[in-house]
Structure 1
Amino acid sequence: MEANLKEIVLNNSNDIVKMWLEEVEKHRKHDYTSSISDELFESTNREFVNVIFTSLEKQGATNDIEGFAERLINLGWPLSYLTDGMQAFRRVTINYILGQSTKVDTQYFSEVLGKVDEWVDPVINQLVNEYSGSWENIVSLQKVALQELSAPLIPVMENITVMPLIGTIDTERAKLIMENLLDGVIKHHADVVLIDITGVPVVDTMVAHHIIQAAEAVRLIGSTCILVGIRPEIAQTIVNLGIDLSKFPTKSSLKKGFESALELTNRRIEDIQSKNNEIEELVDSLDRE
């Protein structure tokens, strides 16, 4: 029985594929696929149905399923595309098999339903598992990448590093800032660290507390922390909240903070043109003598 039904499906795959594509196309106007180009929609559907038939022939083609699920995630297609497509394949296959038989009794109908379920359910499970696994892996990688980008420590000159902060600072991110800051100071042998909060929209008591903690931790390992990017509204908020930032230097801009960092490391910015003019004047005076 099972061999005969599977043979009917595989031998008439072209007809079933055509029916399946028509079934999927009918629902396109009402879901997310309406905004997808015709070429991409058709090619993805073709790949999908090929994966289904390959799985039926090989009793589960894990590599094909895994690759297809990963491509769907990269395309940004939801899991419902897979589950809806498999349910459409189930309906089309059952209708096709029943349409090829002269039997109309309940027992045959029940047997067809049972056998099709045995083929379709494992494929659905594999697709869902592979999609979920790939999704979790991608989300995990993205989370790591975002964490690395959320609190970078950039060495800009020997013994001077900058940590630009952008966006809201919550407790989890504050912990990451502290870890990156301490690790980076030691790794880059930084004497001065500039924490730039120009891109932080709100500085409340909690944010200020975390920044103070970070600055204090940097001080304890022998370096100096300068807070830069203090906009007027941020300064007013800090004063109104009664937050004490007197323990470490603050500057209104990164430029001013960098100039202070140079002074702390016994360096300064020189105007080369002015220096050259001075040298030329000195040479001229010596020549005159």
Structure 2
Amino acid sequence: MKREIVRYVQNYGENIVEEWMDEMRERGDSRSFNTISNNVFYNTSKEFLDVVVSSIVDSDETYHEKVKDFAESIIKLGWPLTYLTTGIRIYQSIIFEKMVTENELTKEQMKKLVLDLDSWLSPLQDQMINIYSDTWEKTITMQKVALQELSAPLIPVFEKISIMPLVGTIDTERARLIMENLLSGVVKHRSEVVLIDITGVPVVDTMVAHHIIQAAEAVRLVGSKCMLVGIRPEIAQTIVNLGIDLNHITTKSTLRKGIAQALAYTNREIVVMEGAD
């Protein structure tokens, strides 16, 4: 019966694709499918069924590579894991119904067909789920690393002057990253003055202040000066109420004032040219 299944799939692949796509549209995750064009949906569906057929006609190495590439493509599309599980279940149902309808099978033959389809597609589904999960974890890890790198950048704005704009909450892990980026950036850019801009930090509590003080002290130890800018009135009040001592750190209410002070530290200043608006 397995040979008959393979032969049937190879002979009627296009018809199966069309019916399968209709079923997936009706029973699949419409939120995922409605956001893409019909052409993308068709090509992705065709690729999925090519991967399924690959499991019985190609070598293990070729099949595994196709599954990996396909998993990456549907993750990029934002499609859930249920796309794979639902897709295989619908595919199995379509093949069974068509073969039973077209081949007047006995009960014993139908039973064998069910077992053969299951022995083919169940391991295939498990493999796809595992590869999808591994690919998803790797994608999430890479995205997390990229976000971490972007969450605490040190930007050189003038010669010897760099700025680290902070946005969002600061936890222990991010504080560690801030410290690493700050120290490596100071050395890399040969910064004499570093401005830590906390305009986008919603809350400054004792822990956040402690991390900022540690960062400022670390910058001082490598021979540079650290300034804290973007201190809003409510943040200033919180710092006072918590009894946090920032006397040994230069602070400014805005980034503009901080840059002016940083230029002064490096014996420069902003001059308005005659005739300029």
Which structure has the bigger radius of gyration?
1
Alpha-carbon distance between aligned partners in 2 of 1:18 and 1:224, rounded to the nearest angstrom: 67
Equivalent residues of 1:193, 1:225 under 8 A apart = yes
Secondary structure of the corresponding residue to residue 117 of structure 2: helix
Residue 138 (1) aligns with residue 143 (2): no
Instruction: Kindly state the Cα deviation for residue 59 of structure 1 after the two structures are TM-superposed.
Output: 5.7
Aligned to 2:151: 150
Alpha-carbon distance between aligned partners in 1 of 2:231 and 2:15, rounded to the nearest angstrom: 69
Relative to structure 1, the CA distance from residue 10 to residue 224 in structure 2 (aligned partners, 3 Å threshold; closer, same or farther) is: same
Equivalent residues of 2:28, 2:86 under 8 A apart = no
Residue 269 (1) aligns with residue 246 (2): no
Which range is displaced more, 91-100 or 200-209? 91-100
Secondary structure of the corresponding residue to residue 24 of structure 2: helix
Alpha-carbon distance between aligned partners in 1 of 2:120 and 2:3, rounded to the nearest angstrom: 12
Equivalent residues of 2:28, 2:83 under 8 A apart = no
Structure 1 stretches of 5 or more lacking a match? Answer: 275-289
Equivalent residues of 1:165, 1:200 under 8 A apart = yes
Alpha-carbon distance between aligned partners in 1 of 2:18 and 2:268, rounded to the nearest angstrom: 75
Relative to structure 1, the CA distance from residue 79 to residue 151 in structure 2 (aligned partners, 3 Å threshold; closer, same or farther) is: same
Residue 93 (1) aligns with residue 58 (2): no
Which of 62, 65, 68 is residue 67 of structure 2 equivalent to? 65
Alpha-carbon distance between aligned partners in 1 of 2:254 and 2:205, rounded to the nearest angstrom: 19
Equivalent residues of 2:17, 2:45 under 8 A apart = no
Alpha-carbon distance between aligned partners in 2 of 1:18 and 1:154, rounded to the nearest angstrom: 53
Alpha-carbon distance between aligned partners in 2 of 1:205 and 1:216, rounded to the nearest angstrom: 16
Secondary structure of the corresponding residue to residue 23 of structure 1: helix
Aligned to 2:197: 196
Report percent identity of matched pairs.
51
Which range is displaced more, 244-253 or 131-140? 131-140
Equivalent residues of 1:9, 1:97 under 8 A apart = no
Question: What do you get for the CA RMSD once the two structures are aligned?
Answer: 2.2
Instruction: Kindly state the Cα deviation for residue 43 of structure 1 after the two structures are TM-superposed.
Output: 3.3
Secondary structure of the corresponding residue to residue 197 of structure 2: strand
Which range is displaced more, 210-219 or 51-60? 51-60
Alpha-carbon distance between aligned partners in 2 of 1:167 and 1:26, rounded to the nearest angstrom: 41
Aligned length: 273
TM-score under structure 1 normalisation?
Answer: 0.86
Residues 142-189 of structure 1, C-alpha deviations (whole Å, 9 max, x = no match): 111111111111112222111111111111101100111111112222
* AA matched with 2:98: Y
Aligned to 1:6: 6
TM-score under structure 2 normalisation?
Answer: 0.89
Secondary structure of the corresponding residue to residue 51 of structure 2: helix
Aligned to 2:44: 44
Structure 2 stretches of 5 or more lacking a match? Answer: none
